[in-house]
A and B are shown apart, each in its own frame.
Chain A
Amino acid sequence: MAKRPFDIRAQPGFGFVALLTFFALYLPIAALVAYSFNAADSLSRWDGLSLRWFISAWQNSTVQDASIRSLVLAVWAAALSTVVATMAALATTRTPPYPGLTFKYAFINQPLMVPEIVTAVALLIVFSRIKVWTGYSGLGYLVLAHTAFCIPFAYLPIRARLEGMDLKLEQAAADLYANPWRTFRHVTLPLLRPAIIAGFMLAFVISLDDVVITEFVKSGGQDTLPTYMLGQLRRETTPEINAIATVFLALSVLLVTVFFFVNRRKP
């Protein structure tokens, strides 16, 4: 009889461990979502089904402010980081390998490797100086900071796509009288579009979700949704937090799903 290849799914206890892992991962989230529909005033008591905390969050002007700020910030950071990431990806793939290229990869991906708290403290110090010099204390600092740590997330799918692209296509365009700009405009960019959209959405979600750097860089009255929620937890907490988190979760799931389908689509 032929020996069957090793299959971890066939090992005893696999199903049990898998089930346990799923519960550990998703039970808290399920509880959070369930309690967002709680009618009670407290997180610790279940008082029947209700949408009151969704309505309450929707009508809370602080939540509205923070939400709009989060979205504006995420759109800016995602847009800027996608442009920078596209340029970086082109510069690192459309060139023969040379010494120092690996260093550049590491440099571009630096926000993935340096602990976020270190970057946060560093930015706090730099930006507070600049704030004193310029007197400007608007959203620009947060946009810059978010753009910086979003770049690697936008860069990865774009670079992967460029590396998989047949270089002959760009040569063919050049052969057919397209100058470098028109080659980019008519051939490279359309073929890159799914990866650019994917990169944008990843960057958007990452920016929307950020707490640490935002907490350090923001000026007074510049709460984003995550930092607002963090602030609420220090006080008496109501299921309103759950309601906000549930909406947040739904939005993220939606974006990741769209990302998945966009990325899977062949040119």
Chain B
Amino acid sequence: MGWSVPDRNAIEIRGVRKVFGAGENAVVALDTVSVPIRENEFFTLLGPSGCGKTTLLRLIAGFDYPSAGEILLYGDDIAPLPPFKRPVNTVFQSYALFPHMTVAENIGFGLEMLDRPKAEVKARVAEMLKLVRMEQLANRRTSQISGGQQQRVALARALAPQPKVLLLDEPLSALDYKLRKDMQIELKRLQGETGITFIFVTHDQEEALTMSDRIAVMSAGKILQVGAPRDIYDRPAERFVADFIGESNFLKGEIAGTAGGRATVRLSSGAEIPASLPEGFSPSGAVTIVVRPEHAQLAAANGDASLSGTVENVVYLGTDTHFHLRLDDGSPFIVRRQNSRGGGEGLTQGSRARVLIGADAAQVLKD
């Protein structure tokens, strides 16, 4: 996109802990989480169910209060405020539209509660209806419109009071595939047009990669890694991140040497592979490295001390082909190769092959 993201934090989560229950039944939903979220950014909390992403969103919205820590909104701690005193609005997973009101009344609700003048409410509702392309349905009941339309009303309702931050709790999960794809683009457009900071919660890695400026990957109440989609995908810092997002090959080896954020890893076969290190991490001894299937190439085996194995399976997928290999040390390895017309090489089931890993294809994991 054309603009640069300013370095001002809209939200700053500082050492936030959330424990449900007490004593032996206590469950730690958030384990001392800290993360800054920049102004105007599309920030995604990504993780499997139960990782604490929704809990964090609820704490920002004010539906729950942290057990410890601070939540700063442009520098002010909002953690103790009730939801109706926070300039932050939510799009709920179930939309939670008011069934006794029309589409327009739903959108105007927030402004009415802020006691804005009638004329202003009316003008803003009209503007919002236009923004989400719902002008025709302004006077319908929310039960008389489709799921995709309800979704857009929920968005308009949350955007109408011009919140400082918009929270979205898996808002696309109830839509079918096609509609979800359209709404992903729509959401990105709305974020661009309104310039509001979006905090988006999802368990769908593809959704996260498509829409986000930055992603925080969460697991078991912790944020494991924060970064742009490309960083997260190309340079996963931990095994969980590499495993959760995309497909991965994991190889065990030993550090043979490090220099300037890079390392050479010696595998059990004797092959030495260059790999990059996660920031501020200088390991020694045994490590695991990750290689994405499309970042490795295959060549005919030549008997030297490289990474080689036997092709066990070849899966043709239209756009590309997956080669499932069994390496000589017994571990599995997948190589993905993009197909071209008239391509198709001699590698078939049972062939011996050599895996080539480029200079910037491997990444050392922290665990």
A residues lining the B interface (CB < 8 Å):
166, 168-169, 171-179, 182-183, 186-187, 190-191, 266-267
Contact = CB atoms under 8 A, between A and B. Distances in A.
Nearest to A189: B100
Contacts, number: 66
Contacts of A183: 84
B92 A172 contact: yes
Query: Most A CB atoms within 10 A — which of B90, B96, B157?
Result: B96
Most chain B CB inside 10 Å of its own CB: which residue of A169, A173, A177, A191:
A177
A175 B100 contact: no
A177 B100 contact: no
A13 to B, nearest CB: 46
Interface stretch (B109-117, B201-209, B313-321): B109-117
A204 to B, nearest CB: 25
11 contacts: A166-B96, A169-B98, A171-B90, A171-B92, A172-B92, A175-B63, A175-B89, A177-B113, A177-B114, A177-B161, A191-B100
Contact of B84 (A168, A178, A186, A267): A178
B90 A179 contact: no
Contact of B83 (A174, A191, A267): A174
Given A177-B85, A179-B82, 5 more contacts: A168-B92, A172-B98, A176-B113, A176-B161, A178-B113
Contact of A175 (B61, B94, B99, B143): B61
B92 A182 contact: no
B62 to A, nearest CB: 8
B84 to A, nearest CB: 5
Interface string B245-267: 00000000000000000000000
Of A176, A187, A190, A266, the most chain B CB neighbours within 10 A belong to A176
Contacts of A179: 82, 84
A171 B83 contact: yes
Contacts of A172: 90, 92, 96-98
Contacts of B99: 169, 191, 266-267
A182 B157 CA distance: 17
Contacts of B113: 173, 176-178, 182, 186
B84 A177 contact: yes
Contacts of A171: 63, 83, 90, 92, 96
Interface in B140-167: 143, 157-158, 161
Interface string B88-129: 111010101111100000000110011000000000000000
A166 B94 CA distance: 10
A187 B94 contact: no
A168 B83 CA distance: 13
Contact of B110 (A177, A190, A266): A177
Contacts of A267: 99-100
Contacts of B83: 171, 174-175
A111 to B, nearest CB: 32
A267 B143 CA distance: 10
Contacts of B114: 177
A-B CB proximity, top 10 nearest:
A176-B110, A168-B96, A177-B113, A172-B96, A174-B83, A178-B113, A190-B100, A175-B90, A177-B84, A174-B84
Contact of A169 (B63, B88, B96, B110): B96
Contacts of B85: 177
